């Protein structure tokens, strides 16, 4: 198994690019990733993989003109060639009047995000984990899913003198259990260390959900109160990252938060923030242009406080970067990768008990934007949707389509779970979120399973 190159080797690779002549500045983003994924279906391992890849991405600046070139040749020669290619581009493009300069030298917070046991997990160990998960399935049920262990090191070096380097690891296990008379169950865990992944617990949870969701019945679409489990809450929160929380999006009037700074946009119980340095998420302590990441309170007690920024959007807004740049050139602007929705004080059981007639949703599937400025998205329920009547879960129902404004849902939220989970979304990075009870959620169609 390979290991991290380490900061000295990374500096050595970046050096020829940083020494490129005839330009005003150079930034080198270096990435190294290695790990394995054991994929299973029908309770057997069917697609196991392992890979190691590198990337050297060089941004060259001259007179406000910017060029970017990348290679996966992780060597001083590769970095030099990428820098020369980027320099060729700056000779033909127009200057960016909003170019803010490269990141100045600043210390980056320490974050102990690397676990050697995770980085060196063997395929045999992942296979044992999958076997433990599969063993939780009752006869007639099967598990599918993926068990991944991944290590990365990321570094940014620039000609202003900024240098930052961080290694990190992550382990994730997701599964869907199917079988019996229709219905399915889902469970997942995301962690920085493989020791925090309990395959039996993940398998047990999905298997119980699959058993509970047998013989789903038809239910008419319409507005229902909903109890959203954390995996379902990750969808609206993830979409807000995309269509709402970026500084560029807000400044350009494309966000559901444009012009709403300081205004109530959600229930007073709702607070959402981004914090890559928290031990409760999987983050690196600096962004992809080398700015230290800081905690940003996005919605505080229901009031929109402001977006995240990279250096460019910060200059445009007359403020400081919050450390949320994506890799260049990034026309989309800054993006929060480590969102949190603050917990409340309710249990899932209390939310269900407080519901006269509504739905319990395990998670959503393949959602997409309907109207970004109104924060409206559509998607399907999946892997366990249940009717609640008179405070009790009555029976499973077939999957439903929703078409719903996220901010309207957050405004109609009356209960928030006291426990949080790091939950994934189909398209976005994982968010740490609790369960929510929303008093009105708009279901607009249904499926046959």
Partner 1 sequence: MLDVVRQAVEAAGAAGADYADARVVREETESLTVRNQEMEGIDRASSEGIGIRVLVAGYWGFAATARMDEGEIARTAALAVAIARAASRLPREPVSLTPVEPATGRWDSPMQEDPFTVPLEEKVALLMEATRRMQLVKGLAFAEGSIDLFRRRSWFASSEGAAIEQTTVQSGAGIEATAIGDGEMQRRSFPNSFRGHIAAAGWEHVRALGLGEEAERTATEAVELLTATECPSERTTLVLDSGQVALQIHESIGHPVELDRVLGMEEAYAGSSLLSPEDRGRLRYASDLVSITADATLAGGLGTFGWDDEGVPAQRVPIIVDGIFHGFLSSRETAGAIDQTSSGAMRADGWQNRPLIRMTNVSIEPREGTLADIVGDTKDGIFMATNQSWSIDDRRVNFQFGCEIAWRIKDGRLTEMYRNPNYTGITTEFWRSCDAVGGRESWTLWGTPNCGKGQPGQVARVGHGAAPARFRDVQVGVR
Span 350-379, contacts to partner 1 by CB under 8 A: 365-374, 378-379
CB nearer partner 1, residue 205 or residue 401:
401
* Least gap, CB of 5 to partner 1 (angstroms): 12
* Least gap, CB of 395 to partner 1 (angstroms): 20
**Subset of 280-309 contacting partner 1 (CB under 8 A):** none
Alpha helices in 109-152, H assignment, sequence order: 116-119, 123-134
CB nearer partner 1, residue 343 or residue 372:
372
* Least gap, CB of 216 to partner 1 (angstroms): 13
Cα dihedral 420, 425, 431, 436 in deg (nearest 10): -40
CB nearer partner 1, residue 263 or residue 418:
263
**Subset of 109-148 contacting partner 1 (CB under 8 A):** 122-124, 126-128, 130-131, 134, 142, 144-146, 148
Structure-block tokens of residue 191:
């962690």
- In a 10 Å sphere around its CB, with 0-12 CB exposed, 13-18 middle and 19+ buried, how is residue 33 labelled? middle
Candidate list 401, 417, 428, 435; residue touching partner 1; CB under 8 A: 401
CB nearer partner 1, residue 40 or residue 273:
40
Question: Do 338 and 241 meet the contact criterion of CB atoms below 8 Å apart?
Answer: no
The whole-angstrom separation of Cα 86 and Cα 61 is 9
**Quick one: which of 106, 110, 91, 113 has its CA closest to 158?**
106
CB nearer partner 1, residue 90 or residue 352:
90
Instruction: Confirm or reject binding of residue 65 to partner 1 (CB under 8 A).
Output: yes
Instruction: Confirm or reject binding of residue 175 to partner 1 (CB under 8 A).
Output: yes
Name every residue whose Cβ is closer than 8 Å to that of residue 162 and which is 6 or more positions away in sequence. 102, 103, 104, 105, 106, 156, 290
Q: Which stretch binds partner 1 (CB under 8 A): 32-40, 110-118, 263-271, 387-395?
A: 32-40
* Least gap, CB of 372 to partner 1 (angstroms): 6
* Least gap, CB of 57 to partner 1 (angstroms): 8
* Least gap, CB of 62 to partner 1 (angstroms): 13
Q: Which stretch binds partner 1 (CB under 8 A): 168-176, 194-202, 224-232, 414-422?
A: 168-176
Q: Which residues pair with 447 in a beta bridge?
A: none
The whole-angstrom separation of Cα 176 and Cα 196 is 20
Candidate list 16, 67, 185, 216; residue touching partner 1; CB under 8 A: 67
Q: Which stretch binds partner 1 (CB under 8 A): 61-69, 225-233, 262-270, 387-395?
A: 61-69
Q: What CA–CA distances, in Å, run from 239 to 79, 361, 366?
A: 35, 17, 12
- Collapsed DSSP state (helix, strand, coil) of residue 394: strand
Q: What share of the chain is helix, strand, coil (3-state, %, to 5)?
A: 20, 40, 40
**Subset of 323-342 contacting partner 1 (CB under 8 A):** 328-331
Q: Which stretch binds partner 1 (CB under 8 A): 15-23, 53-61, 207-215, 352-360?
A: 53-61
Candidate list 6, 42, 107, 200; residue touching partner 1; CB under 8 A: 42
Question: Do 272 and 341 meet the contact criterion of CB atoms below 8 Å apart?
Answer: yes
Instruction: Confirm or reject binding of residue 69 to partner 1 (CB under 8 A).
Output: yes
User: Rg of the chain over CA atoms, in angstroms?
Assistant: 23
The whole-angstrom separation of Cα 399 and Cα 446 is 6
């Amino acid at each position: 198994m390979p290991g991290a190159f380490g900061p000295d080797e990374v500096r050595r690779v970046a050096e020829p690019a940083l020494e490129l002549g005839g330009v005003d500045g150079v930034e080198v983003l270096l990435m190294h990733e290695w790990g394995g994924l054991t994929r299973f279906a029908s309770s057997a391992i069917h697609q196991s993989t392992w890979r190691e890849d590198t990337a050297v991405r060089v941004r060259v600046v001259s007179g406000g003109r910017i060029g970017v070139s990348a290679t996966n040749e992780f060597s001083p020669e590769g970095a030099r060639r990428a820098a020369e290619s980027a320099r060729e581009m700056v000779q033909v493009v127009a200057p960016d009047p909003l170019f803010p300069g490269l990141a100045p030298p600043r210390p980056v917070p320490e974050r102990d995000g690397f676990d050697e046991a995770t980085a060196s997990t063997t395929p045999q160990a992942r296979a044992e984990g999958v076997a433990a998960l599969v063993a939780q399935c009752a006869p007639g049920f099967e598990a599918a899913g993926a068990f991944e262990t991944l290590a990365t090191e990321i570094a940014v070096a620039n000609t202003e003198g900024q240098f930052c380097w961080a290694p990190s690891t992550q382990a994730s296990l997701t599964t869907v259990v199917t079988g019996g008379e229709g219905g399915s169950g889902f469970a997942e865990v995301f962690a920085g260390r493989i020791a925090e992944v309990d395959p039996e617990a993940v398998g047990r949870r999905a298997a119980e959900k699959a058993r509970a969701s047998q013989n789903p019945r038809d239910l008419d679409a319409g507005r229902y109160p909903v109890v959203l489990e954390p995996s379902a809450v990750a969808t609206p929160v993830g979409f807000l990252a995309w269509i709402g929380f970026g500084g560029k999006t807000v400044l350009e009037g494309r966000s559901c938060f444009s012009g709403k700074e300081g205004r109530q946009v959600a229930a007073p119980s709702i607070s959402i923030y981004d914090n890559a340095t928290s031990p409760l998420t999987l983050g690196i302590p600096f962004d992809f242009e080398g700015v230290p990441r800081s905690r940003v309170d996005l919605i505080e007690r229901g009031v929109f406080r402001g977006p995240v920024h990279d250096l460019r959007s910060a200059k445009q807004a007359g403020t400081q970067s919050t450390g949320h740049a994506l890799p260049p050139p990034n026309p989309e602007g800054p993006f929060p990768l480590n969102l949190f929705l603050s917990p409340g004080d309710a249990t899932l059981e209390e939310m269900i008990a407080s519901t006269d007639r509504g739905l319990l949703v395990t998670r959503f599937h393949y959602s997409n934007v309907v109207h970004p400025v109104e924060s409206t998205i559509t998607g399907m329920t999946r892997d366990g949707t249940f009717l609640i009547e008179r405070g009790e879960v009555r029976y499973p129902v077939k999957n439903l389509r929703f078409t719903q404004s996220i901010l309207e849902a957050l405004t109609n939220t009356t209960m928030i779970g006291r426990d949080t989970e790091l939950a994934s979304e189909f398209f976005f990075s994982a968010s740490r979120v609790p369960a929510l009870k929303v008093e009105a959620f708009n279901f607009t169609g249904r499926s046959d399973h």
